């Protein structure tokens, strides 16, 4: 019986690669706002009603729809375009999207092992081009249905995005003696001296992600930056955010031009990350009440 299943899967794959192929997958993003607030220790000064309002706002900000268009070797992934609601600050939304590691059109080419993504950050356009990250997938035999598709489970430990604030948390509690020493050190710092943006928080360096991939669609693509499994990834869960496929269309008559973006200043991922972190440090200084700080410097 197992041999028959393998033969059928092989025949599906042969037929799949014998034709000119393209597909579209729609993903819904959901983020646990409670988990984010837990990472930052909550706030004892806000009322339960205020916390509920904050969580509702964060929920709206994080719940998005993304479109993945793909062929045998490449894909483009971007947020579904929606008109801003009346009174909504679209510019601020784009900036927050960049701070969450998103925004722009992401192109992945698994044949050339490269990706490119165009992003706007503080009204400056960037084109990030770099090598695709390598994931050490651990594939298991556990399965589940996503829509009409049978998917298999895989896990991997990944490095987190240093420009996405969801990957940060408050530093661990200190004893009273260390707190007192730290406060004295802060009080002694000259008001015009540059402070460290990351002094109160720390990055969660690694996360274990769980992916569910579908061998019936034998391409090694997936949402966001994920790829490298023997089937289209239909769900990814990193413990805070879930990307879940809600719709798949294969070989539609309407073809999408899948090509790398070209607009923006060319930078590597590390160069872009450094630019974002530097700008965030400048904003911390500007709005932290420090004297002698002028406007934020340019890029």
Q: Quick one: pLDDT at residue 160? A: 74
Answer whether 107's CB lies under 8 Å from 132's CB: no
Read off the pLDDT band of 193 (50, 70, 90): very low
pLDDT at 84 over 70: no
Answer whether 114's CB lies under 8 Å from 131's CB: yes
Answer whether 213's CB lies under 8 Å from 222's CB: yes
Q: Quick one: pLDDT at residue 4? A: 47
Read off the pLDDT band of 261 (50, 70, 90): very high
Strand 105-109 relative to strand 114-121, pairing: antiparallel
- Which residues lie closer than 8 Å to 137 by C-beta, 6 or more apart? 154, 155, 156, 211, 228, 229
Q: Quick one: pLDDT at residue 265? A: 93
């Amino acid at each position: 019986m197992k041999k028959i299943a393998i033969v059928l899967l092989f025949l599906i794959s042969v037929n799949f690669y014998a034709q000119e192929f393209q597909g579209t997958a729609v993903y819904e993003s959901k983020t646990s706002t409670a988990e984010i607030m837990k990472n930052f220790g909550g706030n004892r000064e806000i009322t339960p009603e205020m916390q509920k309002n904050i969580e509702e706002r964060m929920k709206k900000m994080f719940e998005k729809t993304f479109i993945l268009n793909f062929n045998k070797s490449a894909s483009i992934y971007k947020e579904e375009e929606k008109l801003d609601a009346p009174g909504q600050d679209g510019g601020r939304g784009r900036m927050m999207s960049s701070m969450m590691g998103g925004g722009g059109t992401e192109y992945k080419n698994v044949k050339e092992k490269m990706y490119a993504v165009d992003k706007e950050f503080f009204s400056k356009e960037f084109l990030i081009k770099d090598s695709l990250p390598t994931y050490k997938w651990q594939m298991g035999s556990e399965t589940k249905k996503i829509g009409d598709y049978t998917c298999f489970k895989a896990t991997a430990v990944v490095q987190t995005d240093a420009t996405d604030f969801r990957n940060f948390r408050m530093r661990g509690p200190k004893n009273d003696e260390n707190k007192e020493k730290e406060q004295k050190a802060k009080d002694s710092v000259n008001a015009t001296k540059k402070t460290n943006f990351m002094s109160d928080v720390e990055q969660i360096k690694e996360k274990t992600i769980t992916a569910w991939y579908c061998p019936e669609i034998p391409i090694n693509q997936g949402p966001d930056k994920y790829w490298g499994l023997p089937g289209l990834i239909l769900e990814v869960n990193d413990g805070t955010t879930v990307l879940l496929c809600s719709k798949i269309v294969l070989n539609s008559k309407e073809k999408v031009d899948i090509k790398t973006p070209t607009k923006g200043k060319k930078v590597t991922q590390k160069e872009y990350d450094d630019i974002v972190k530097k700008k965030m440090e400048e904003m911390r200084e500007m709005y932290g009440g420090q004297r002698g700080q002028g406007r934020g410097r340019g890029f």
